[in-house]
Structure 1
Amino acid sequence: MSSILIKSAQVVNEGKTTKADVYINQGRIEMIAEEINHPADQVIQAEGLHLLPGLIDDQVHFREPGLTYKADIWHESRAAVAGGTTSFMEMPNTVPNTLTQQLLEDKYTIASEKSLANYSFFMGAANDNLDEVLKTNPRDVCGIKIFMGSSTGNMLVDNQETLENIFAQAPTLIAVHCEDEATVQRNLAAFKEKYGEENLTASMHPLIRSEKACYLSSSKAVELAKKHNTRLHILHISTAKETALFANDVPLEQKRITAEACVHHLWFCDKDYDEKGNFIKWNPAVKTEADRDGILKAVLDGYIDVIATDHAPHTLEEKQKPYAQAPSGGPLVQHALQALLDMVKGGKLTLEQLVLKTAHNTATLFQIESRGFIREGYWADLVLVDLDKPYTVTKENILSKCGWSPFEEHTFSSSIAHTIVSGQLAYTEGKIVEVGTGHRLLFNR
């Protein structure tokens, strides 16, 4: 591994911003000081740039294996590092679903050969694979994923006895997708009856996948976790009402129940469906302005602990189908940091809060070993950003395999200058650097 010296950066870390040099050797941060003159293989002159811990995205869908016509680990990990995300945790609703320990390890093998970013993969739960779920190793697997709402294949867990057993016996963190399936199906049937399936539109999505559906499921998950003292993490909170389920008066290290917000629920609202249509069709749905503002307030007030993407690409052809046939999800990992930096520019949060919610807290919440902070001895997962260099998203600079973005033609106020993954410069001034692969994340559990 080559050594890197970063000179004169504005280092944003652990609640403060200070000017410093950072020396990286053998993949780790060896020294942080006001001035370092140590010889290095690479020197990055960072005057005017801000140095942040690389984002740790705790929810992505990179579609490999089985759905690689729309995304794969090779393409999506490059999109990630181009956007300043240095580590990701990927979901089990690939094909086949990740429901055995062997299928889980197969994904780790693929990532070890193809991923430019650091990686971990969730073990999937179904109604009939409890024995496999209980074999999950907390040391080198980020967690167990339960879809308490519709998903691909055999991954809807709707058997109460199964849920009780998983919540009672899970050897590590459980992450859940919460939407009450019965409520969603009733709403969908009512809309089809009233309007006809061919007349349904994306603007109806937040009414079909409603606030009630989300709250019923989230509150059920919280109830189960409290009953069994489960380590529960609820993904992509989409309503202001759900935020009341969480606490902000307990240190994060002591929380048993935590929550995530996603960039799209902080950026878009139901008024955007007229322009964006299926391109902002996600599950759970983008809802009202009041929900968007309530989620942000909960992030800032400590009820919601982390910000992620739920990056979930589909092809342009799939997203251009009529609403009822178009799949939910979209690519976000390349532009998440820039969207959040625009929110910083707009006064909605500070740089320090951004770093807390996208790196520090994610590392703390998942107990990730030696990552998520700019500290001596930690792995060098870093991103340098230029807050004063605008960047316009075009088809030509989108790196996700699907080739489109809900942010297309938007000009962000900031740019990603350099991304360092496990001590290797992986992205610099608009270009991917082929340096090998990222590392498998380890967890202090």
Structure 2
Amino acid sequence: MPRIILKNAKVVNENCTFETDVLLEGDYIARMDADISDANASVVDLNGDLLLPGIIDDQVHFREPGLTHKGTIATESRAAIAGGITTFMEQPNTNPQTTTLQKLEEKFSIASKDAFANYSFLFGGTNDNLEELKRLDKNACSGVKLFLGSSTGNMLVDDESVLEKIFSNTEMVISAHCEDEGTIRANMAKYQEMYGDDIPVEMHPIIRSAEACYLSSSKAIALAKRTGARLHVFHISTGIETDLFTNEIPLEKKKITSEVCIHHLWFSDEDYAKKGTLIKWNPAVKTKEDRDKLWDALLDDRIDVVATDHAPHTLEEKNNPYTKAPSGGPLVQHALLAMLEKEQEGKISLEKMVEKMCHNPAKLFDIDRRGFVREGYYADLVQVTRNSKNEVKKDNIFYKCGWSPFEGTTFDSKVARTFVNGHLAYENGRFSEKRNAKRLTFNR
């Protein structure tokens, strides 16, 4: 069983930052102590660099099967480990959609051969697959995904009686995309009448408005409270929605939780003029005031998790006129770097960042032995070098789509090494061709 000693690490874990050595044995963290020695171990000197738990991204779209010209489980998970993401949960709006147990297991089969990072998938709820959902074992996958507003790969669930039954018939976490479809359609009709297909992209947050988000989120939360369902609201994008969530109880006791994505914390509607459809997401990037309130809610624990909603499209697709340009963009390679930049600016502490990107996803989804730097846990670890200028350019982007909304941005940190289950999977721009990723298991 291979042994590796990580010397001179500055570990960030469980609201503490401390210096230690870390002994990896096989898939696991075997020991943490000062000045570990082992004649049978190889030694990697971190020279005082940060050592973080591997990032757990609870919302990605890796596009396989059916949309593999945009990305695959292999290409996007490879980019993820370059960004320090060691675990991903992939969404069901592929082609075919992940709405049967057979299609779910087919995805697991692909990932078992191709994934560079640990993996699980969300099972898609629809207007007509309730019986299939009832057959889903609560430990089979991450949870259930519901689109309560249409998005890429339309899986809109708009039958209220079906929603009530789904909320009443699963013990699993229900993750929801919340935007009110009626409001969006009315807004779209108005602006199409004014502009045709070539609507200015600056209208995107007006079409997919704060009102549309709040109406849908508040309705989902009311339904969860009425049925006792375990609800997780994906990609909160507005300030007004943050008041729907509480920080008065610990995460472990919350029945209703929420997530914010990197792009909603980084960009605002002022960036549409420069970035155009490259920052067209659903829900839309909104105002600076919304962004500020999202940060406030993240820091005071009304928002529980930071994720990416990584959703690649080709540049050719994104360069279409507004109504034909798909929403979504690639983020897994640069999410951690973006958050580290905000930490350098004093926006968030390292400890709080690790809580939101590592600890809380593990807690929220009941993931077995991941998300923390602890003895006996899987050795999913990320070495970060500070004060190492890192400009995002075409030639260092690993996404299959070949572009990033962060192109031209220079980050002050870099991911030096990523360990997946104790295996050195990525090191300074180079990848191990050995895949040591595992299917997630859960403690439910």
Question: Structure 2 length as normaliser, TM-score?
Answer: 0.99
Question: How much has 1:40 moved relative to structure 2?
Answer: 4.7
Please give the alpha-carbon distance, in whole angstroms, between the structure 1 residues aligned to 2:315 and 2:124: 27
Please give the alpha-carbon distance, in whole angstroms, between the structure 2 residues aligned to 1:189 and 1:437: 49
Aligned equivalent of 2:98: 98
1:431 partnered with 2:433: no
Could you say what secondary structure the match of 2:398 adopts?
coil
Aligned equivalent of 2:254: 255
Moved more, 330-339 or 151-160: 151-160
Contact 1:259 1:306 in 2 (8 A): yes
Could you say what secondary structure the match of 1:388 adopts?
strand
Please give the alpha-carbon distance, in whole angstroms, between the structure 2 residues aligned to 1:186 and 1:271: 24
Question: How much has 1:171 moved relative to structure 2?
Answer: 2.9
Please give the alpha-carbon distance, in whole angstroms, between the structure 2 residues aligned to 1:438 and 1:201: 43
Q: Any residues of structure 2 matched to 1:214-363 within 5 Å, and which? A: 214-363=213-362
Q: Match for 1:217: what amino acid? A: S
The percentage of aligned residue pairs carrying the same residue is: 55
Aligned equivalent of 1:31: 31
Seen in structure 2, the aligned counterparts of structure 1 residues 231 and 384 have a Cα distance that, compared at 3 Å, is same
Count of residues in correspondence between the two structures: 444
Aligned equivalent of 2:73: 73
Question: How much has 1:28 moved relative to structure 2?
Answer: 0.3
Question: How much has 1:434 moved relative to structure 2?
Answer: 1.5
Q: Any residues of structure 2 matched to 1:191-230 within 5 Å, and which? A: 191-198=191-198, 200-230=199-229
Please give the alpha-carbon distance, in whole angstroms, between the structure 2 residues aligned to 1:40 and 1:135: 48
Question: How much has 1:196 moved relative to structure 2?
Answer: 2.7
Could you say what secondary structure the match of 1:390 adopts?
strand
Q: Match for 2:50: what amino acid? A: H
Aligned equivalent of 1:124: 124
Q: Match for 2:184: what amino acid? A: V
Contact 2:151 2:282 in 1 (8 A): no
Question: How much has 1:202 moved relative to structure 2?
Answer: 1.2
Q: Match for 2:389: what amino acid? A: P
Aligned equivalent of 2:175: 175
Aligned equivalent of 1:390: 389
Could you say what secondary structure the match of 1:24 adopts?
strand
Q: Match for 1:74: what amino acid? A: A
Q: Match for 1:263: what amino acid? A: I
Q: Any residues of structure 2 matched to 1:132-151 within 5 Å, and which? A: 132-151=132-151
Aligned equivalent of 1:185: 185
Contact 1:253 1:365 in 2 (8 A): yes
Aligned equivalent of 1:7: 7
Question: How much has 1:197 moved relative to structure 2?
Answer: 2.5
Please give the alpha-carbon distance, in whole angstroms, between the structure 1 residues aligned to 2:39 and 2:187: 64
Q: Write out per-residue CA displacement over residues 207-230 of structure 1, whole angstroms, 9 at most, x where no aligned residue.
A: 000000000000011000000010
Question: How much has 1:194 moved relative to structure 2?
Answer: 2.3
Contact 2:330 2:399 in 1 (8 A): yes
Aligned equivalent of 1:108: 108
Question: How much has 1:301 moved relative to structure 2?
Answer: 0.2
Please give the alpha-carbon distance, in whole angstroms, between the structure 2 residues aligned to 1:195 and 1:17: 54
Aligned equivalent of 1:403: 402
Please give the alpha-carbon distance, in whole angstroms, between the structure 2 residues aligned to 1:221 and 1:67: 29
Q: Write out per-residue CA displacement over residues 270-295 of structure 1, whole angstroms, 9 at most, x where no aligned residue.
A: 00000000000000000000011100
Contact 2:197 2:324 in 1 (8 A): no
Please give the alpha-carbon distance, in whole angstroms, between the structure 1 residues aligned to 2:383 and 2:260: 24
Q: Write out per-residue CA displacement over residues 147-166 of structure 1, whole angstroms, 9 at most, x where no aligned residue.
A: 00003556110000100000
Q: Write out per-residue CA displacement over residues 2-45 of structure 1, whole angstroms, 9 at most, x where no aligned residue.
A: 22110001100000100000000021000000120123543210
Please give the alpha-carbon distance, in whole angstroms, between the structure 1 residues aligned to 2:38 and 2:296: 44
Q: Match for 1:60: what amino acid? A: V
For structure 2, list consecutive stretches of 5 or more residues without a partner in the other structure. Answer: none
Contact 1:389 1:414 in 2 (8 A): yes
Contact 2:171 2:230 in 1 (8 A): no
Question: How much has 1:430 moved relative to structure 2?
Answer: 1.4
Please give the alpha-carbon distance, in whole angstroms, between the structure 1 residues aligned to 2:2 and 2:194: 64
Could you say what secondary structure the match of 1:401 adopts?
coil
Q: Match for 2:423: what amino acid? A: Q
Seen in structure 2, the aligned counterparts of structure 1 residues 38 and 296 have a Cα distance that, compared at 3 Å, is same
State the superposition RMSD in angstroms.
Answer: 0.9
Aligned equivalent of 2:417: 418
Q: Match for 1:384: what amino acid? A: Q
Q: Match for 2:23: what amino acid? A: Y
Could you say what secondary structure the match of 1:239 adopts?
coil
Could you say what secondary structure the match of 2:188 adopts?
helix
Please give the alpha-carbon distance, in whole angstroms, between the structure 1 residues aligned to 2:278 and 2:152: 20
Contact 1:306 1:361 in 2 (8 A): yes
Contact 1:278 1:320 in 2 (8 A): yes
Could you say what secondary structure the match of 1:214 adopts?
helix
Aligned equivalent of 1:84: 84
Q: Write out per-residue CA displacement over residues 354-377 of structure 1, whole angstroms, 9 at most, x where no aligned residue.
A: 100000011011110000000000
Q: Write out per-residue CA displacement over residues 236-260 of structure 1, whole angstroms, 9 at most, x where no aligned residue.
A: 0000100000010111111000000
Could you say what secondary structure the match of 1:389 adopts?
strand
Q: Match for 2:79: what amino acid? A: A
Please give the alpha-carbon distance, in whole angstroms, between the structure 2 residues aligned to 1:289 and 1:16: 31
Please give the alpha-carbon distance, in whole angstroms, between the structure 1 residues aligned to 2:363 and 2:435: 27
Contact 1:134 1:171 in 2 (8 A): no
Q: Match for 1:102: what amino acid? A: Q
Question: How much has 1:195 moved relative to structure 2?
Answer: 2.7
For structure 1, list consecutive stretches of 5 or more residues without a partner in the other structure. Answer: none
Contact 1:369 1:442 in 2 (8 A): yes
Q: Match for 1:349: what amino acid? A: I
Please give the alpha-carbon distance, in whole angstroms, between the structure 2 residues aligned to 1:42 and 1:73: 31
Could you say what secondary structure the match of 1:414 adopts?
strand
